[in-house]
Amino acid sequence: MSDQERTIIARSGERSNIRDVSALAGVSVKTVSRVINKHPYVSDEMRRKVERAMDALDFRPSVAARILAGIKSGQIALIYDNHSPYYMNQIQTGCWERCQAEGMRLLAQPVDVADPRVADAVRGLVTETHVDGVVLSSPVTDCAAVLGALEAMEIPFVRISPGTNHALTSSVFMDDAQAADDMTTHLINHGHRRIGFIKGHVDHMASDERLFGYRRALDRAGLVFEPQLMCQGQFDFDSGVAAANELLDLENPPTAIFASNDDMAAGVLSVAHDRGIDVPRELSVAGFDNTTLARMVWPQLTTIQQPTRELAYAATDILLAGIGVQHRRLPHELIERASVARVPLKDATDHD
């Protein structure tokens, strides 16, 4: 390192600026700016010089300064309203991984879609942070007030698993109805004829899709949908407990219970254990999502692998690409574990 370079580094102190980088790299301030903003018309040699100088000075571009200069902030926001920690961990991880690969920052902001001021909260977030775009997770993805606010602000956004106005905005999704159909058919193929179903939260459009898939599979198998075998849940453990108690208190209880997510399925397992019901010999239990929880409970859950992290990654990828409306459908998979077994022959005969 030359004496001049040492002098520049020493003079920069703790807060180096773009002029320090320019002087150390031996290039113009304009060239440094182009490197920072990933301008395509910069030679590899110049880019390396600037990057080495930035590393030597521990230089970090000021987000505020870039905003004032009319440059993108290098930040995107994930807006969500989902109380499942396992689901949201995967969503945040997927968004963060794609942001990290692009050198972007991720801001994760919870909102309450039932709050009449939710649109104001979203407008405030976008205005105060100057994010370059937004990823919406369910159920925010179908909140008309939020969608209207973002459209009015002309801020790019991508929706994860939307259930409304699907073609109007960029989105990523899986086929919830077919996934629920597959699981219900799996239970039917194991001899179950009385299959309880715990529906997800009413604010999530996926809840209706999964109920539709359950009913479609029953109808195809010639089984009549019985309303008493369907309970409303909230996508949380406690509502799974309440629904399981309701279903198992029936005079003719189900031999299998399919919950619309793993949290509620864990609640079903808890009730079964408390009642001394053997799972899966006396009761089969199935979930949805294949969260970490599905492998932590006993017995481990048969469930649907929803590509949650991949959905979030894809949504962020579309947002960062910025090339117009795109739609991506990702595949699901039925994961067989120990919580589902063939219905005992006697029970199968009794329920036919």
Amino acid 30: pLDDT: 78
* Position 11 pLDDT exceeds 90: no
Alpha-carbon gap, residue 27 to 111, rounded angstroms: 45
Q: What is the mean pLDDT of residues 33-38?
A: 74
183 or 168, which is more confident?
A: 183
Domain annotation for the chain: domains and CATH numbers: 3-61 (1.10.260.40), 75-174+309-331 (3.40.50.2300), 176-307+334-351 (3.40.50.2300)
In contact, 160 and 173? CB cutoff 8 Å = yes
Q: What is the mean pLDDT of residues 240-257?
A: 98
- pLDDT tens column, 90-116: 999 999 999 988 888 999 999 999 999
| Cα angle 56, 62, 67; round to 5 | 150
Side chain identity at 238, as an amino acid letter? D
- pLDDT tens column, 208-240: 999 999 999 999 999 999 999 999 999 999 999
Amino acid 71: pLDDT: 56
Q: What is the mean pLDDT of the chain?
A: 88
Alpha-carbon gap, residue 104 to 313, rounded angstroms: 13
* Position 15 pLDDT exceeds 80: no
Q: What is the mean pLDDT of residues 336-351?
A: 77
Instruction: Tell me what percent of the chain is helix, strand and coil, each rounded to the nearest 5.
Output: 50, 15, 35
Amino acid 64: pLDDT: 46
Q: What is the mean pLDDT of residues 233-253?
A: 97
- How would residue 324 be classed by pLDDT, with cut points 50, 70 and 90? confident
* Position 122 pLDDT exceeds 80: yes
Provide, rounded to the nearest whole percent, the portion of the chain with pLDDT above 90. 66
Coil vs helix vs strand at 328: strand
Q: What is the mean pLDDT of residues 143-158?
A: 94
* Position 31 pLDDT exceeds 90: no
In contact, 320 and 311? CB cutoff 8 Å = no
Coil vs helix vs strand at 335: strand
172 or 67, which is more confident?
A: 172
| Cα angle 200, 201, 205; round to 5 | 85
40 or 253, which is more confident?
A: 253
